[in-house]
């Protein structure tokens, strides 16, 4: 059961454990902070191939790989989590086009190990970090949860496969899941405790801030001939703090007996690459050096959510997902030297 309001007020009360895979990564570390704040004990399970041990600040770290079933079983037996929050995945679209086997092995097979370990440990609540990339490139289509899933790269295809696994295990073992298909995640913790850092960096806003700050020569804009008003890709952005708030709401929904459900997480507002750059100039008062590059294989023209289901059913209310706030929070994290690892 989720902790009651009295439990959260009593520091001595035992806290329900949530196993957070990828808890040392960008979104996972923010989720751990939100879980700790809400009365849970987040246990991060991470192989640290893309995560950082110093981002694990709100509960213990258990180092391990999803492909290591024995290690997973040990962690489930030791901590006896009431739920899993699954973020761990490879997520670079270009790499997934060039090395699809790597994505099917890590994302799909690793997730199968995790799902089987959870069901055998009788951990029956599962919150899954999926992606809008499962929808593929569907220009002119309102992307709500009923839209066709037509992924155009191995990253999106592997995530769709995991959604199918969860449905299968729901039917066979009663595993209940909340699946979040979300759009581009941006920003950083407003308190400055954690933020976004990847090596190599592939996300637009940190790449842009690197270029502003002289950490790279310029921001490369991949493709300027898309069928959009300014020729660059359009994406829906959501603040990482708003995103993880939705995950906690989804967790509570499951722990209170909710049935399996899929939710899109986006704002319904799309920004082109050039619009993001224009916003950054206004926030940072600095110019962004840009070079034009060719399109990347696997990139869609437009991905924008058309769903309000999470707001209607979970009570999710994004508070920091305007573009200026997302850039300002990321810029503050960036300027405080957290990128120097």
pLDDT of the residue at 16: 97
pLDDT band with cut points at 50, 70 and 90 for residue 138: confident
pLDDT of the residue at 341: 47
pLDDT of the residue at 194: 86
Q: What percent of the chain has pLDDT over 70?
A: 94
Q: What is the 3-state secondary structure (H, E, C) of the chain?
A: CCCCHHHHHCCCCCCCEEEEECCCCHHHHHHHHHHHHCCCEEEEEECCCCCCHHHCCCCCEEECCCCCHHHHHHHHHHHCCCEEEECCCCCCHHHHHHCHHHHHHHHHHHHHHHHHHHHHCCCCEEEEEEEHHHHCCCCCCCECCCCCCCCCCHHHHHHHHHHHHHHHHHHHHCCEEEEEEECEEECCCCCCCCCCCCCCCCCHHHHHHHHHCCCCCCEEEECCCCCCCCCCCEEEEEEHHHHHHHHHHHHHHHHCCCCCEEEEECCCCEEEHHHHHHHHHHHHCCCCCEEEECCCCCCCCEECECCCHHHHHHCCCCCCCCHHHHHHHHHHHHHCCCCCC
Q: Which of 45, 82, 41, 51 minimizes the C-alpha distance to 67?
A: 45
Q: Are 297 and 97 in contact (CB under 8 A)?
A: yes
What does the alpha-carbon distance between residue 322 and residue 310 come to, in Å, rounded to a whole number?
18
Q: Tell whether the model's pLDDT for residue 330 goes beyond 60.
A: yes
Q: Which of 140-144, 148-152, 165-169, 200-204 has the highest mean pLDDT?
A: 165-169
Annotation says 45 is catalytic: no
Mean pLDDT computed over 232-245: 95
Mean pLDDT computed over 139-143: 78
Q: Which of 4-13, 117-126, 211-220 has the highest mean pLDDT?
A: 117-126
Q: Tell whether the model's pLDDT for residue 12 goes beyond 70.
A: no
pLDDT of the residue at 14: 86
Q: Which of 312, 251, 216 minimizes the C-alpha distance to 17?
A: 251
Mean pLDDT computed over 278-304: 89
pLDDT of the residue at 1: 55
Domains of the chain, start order: 5-186+237-265 (3.40.50.720)
Q: Tell whether the model's pLDDT for residue 154 goes beyond 90.
A: yes
Phi-psi region of 257 (alpha: psi -120 to 50; beta: other; left: phi over 0): left
On average, the pLDDT of the chain sits at: 91
Q: What is the pLDDT of residues 282-293, one digit of tens each?
A: 999 999 999 999
Q: Tell whether the model's pLDDT for residue 329 goes beyond 80.
A: yes
Q: Are 69 and 54 in contact (CB under 8 A)?
A: no
Between 52 and 71, whose confidence is greater?
71
Q: What is the pLDDT of residues 115-128, one digit of tens each?
A: 999 999 999 999 99
pLDDT band with cut points at 50, 70 and 90 for residue 151: very high
pLDDT of the residue at 27: 94
Marked catalytic residue, from 26, 45, 135, 155: 155
pLDDT of the residue at 161: 97
Q: Are 56 and 24 in contact (CB under 8 A)?
A: yes
Mean pLDDT computed over 169-189: 95
Q: Tell whether the model's pLDDT for residue 339 goes beyond 70.
A: no
pLDDT of the residue at 289: 92
């Amino acid at each position: 059961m989720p902790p009651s309001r009295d439990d959260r007020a009593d520091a001595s009360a035992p806290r329900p454990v949530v196993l957070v895979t990828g808890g040392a990564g960008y979104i996972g570390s923010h989720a751990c902070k939100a879980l700790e704040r809400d009365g849970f004990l987040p246990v991060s399970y991470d192989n640290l191939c893309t995560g950082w041990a110093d981002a694990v600040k709100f509960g213990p770290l258990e180092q391990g790989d999803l492909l290591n079933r024995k290690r997973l079983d040990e962690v489930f037996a030791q901590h006896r989590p009431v739920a899993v929050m699954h973020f761990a995945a490879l997520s670079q679209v270009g790499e997934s086009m060039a090395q699809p086997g790597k994505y099917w092995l890590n994302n799909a097979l690793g997730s199968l190990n995790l799902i089987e370990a959870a069901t055998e440990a009788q951990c029956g609540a599962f919150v899954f970090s999926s992606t809008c990339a499962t929808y593929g490139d569907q220009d002119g289509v309102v992307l709500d949860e009923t839209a066709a899933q037509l992924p155009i790269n191995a990253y999106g295809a592997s995530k769709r496969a995991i959604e199918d696994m969860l449905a299968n295990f729901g039917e066979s073992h009663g595993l209940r899941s909340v699946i979040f298909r979300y759009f581009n995640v941006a920003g950083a913790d407003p308190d400055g405790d954690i933020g976004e850092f990847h090596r190599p960096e592939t996300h637009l806003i940190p790449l842009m801030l690197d270029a502003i700050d002289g950490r790279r020569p310029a921001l490369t804009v991949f493709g300027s001939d898309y069928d959009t008003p300014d020729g660059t890709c359009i994406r829906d952005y959501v603040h990482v703090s708003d995103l993880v708030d939705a995950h906690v709401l989804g967790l509570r929904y499951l722990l209170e007996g909710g049935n399996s459900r899929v939710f899109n997480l986006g704002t319904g507002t799309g920004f082109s690459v050039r619009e993001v750059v224009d916003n950054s100039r206004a926030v940072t008062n600095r110019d962004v050096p840009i070079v034009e590059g060719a399109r990347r294989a696997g990139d869609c023209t437009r991905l924008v959510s058309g769903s309000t289901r999470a707001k209607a059913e979970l009570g999710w209310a994004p508070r920091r997902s305007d573009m200026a706030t997302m850039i300002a929070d990321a810029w503050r994290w960036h300027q405080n030297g957290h990128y120097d690892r």
